[in-house]
Amino acid sequence: MANLYQISNQVTLSLSEEEIVGKLVSVTKQVIEQERSAREALLANDSRLQLEDRVHRAYGLLTQARLLSSEEALKLWNNVLLGVELKLISGVTIQQMKELFFLMRPAILQHMLGKELTPNERDFHRATMIREHLQSVQE
- Per residue, the 3-state secondary structure of the chain, as one string, reads CCCCCCCCCCCCCCCCHHHHHHHHHHHHHHHHHHHHHHHHHHCCHHHHHHHHHHHHHHHHHHHHCCCCCHHHHHHHHHHHHHHHHCCCCCCCCHHHHHHHHHHCCHHHHHHHHCCCCCHHHHHHHHHHHHHHHHHHHHC
Instruction: Report the mean per-residue pLDDT for the chain.
Output: 89
**Tens digit of each residue's pLDDT (9 = 90 or more) over 61-105:** 999 999 999 999 999 999 999 999 999 998 899 999 999 999 999
**Tens digit of each residue's pLDDT (9 = 90 or more) over 8-26:** 777 777 888 888 889 888 9
pLDDT-derived band of residue 138, with 50, 70 and 90 as boundaries? low
Please tell me the distance from the alpha carbon of residue 67 to that of residue 127, in angstroms, as a whole number: 5
- For residue 127, pLDDT over 90 is answered with yes
Q: Nearest-CA neighbor of 83 among 52, 42, 57, 119?
A: 52
- Give residue 41's pLDDT: 79
Which of 42-51, 81-90, 94-103, 117-126 has the least mean pLDDT?
42-51
Domain ranges of the chain: 8-42, 48-138
Please tell me the distance from the alpha carbon of residue 57 to that of residue 95, in angstroms, as a whole number: 21
- For residue 3, pLDDT over 90 is answered with no
- For residue 32, pLDDT over 80 is answered with yes
- For residue 114, pLDDT over 70 is answered with yes
Radius of gyration of the chain (CA): 18
- pTM of the entire predicted model: 0.80
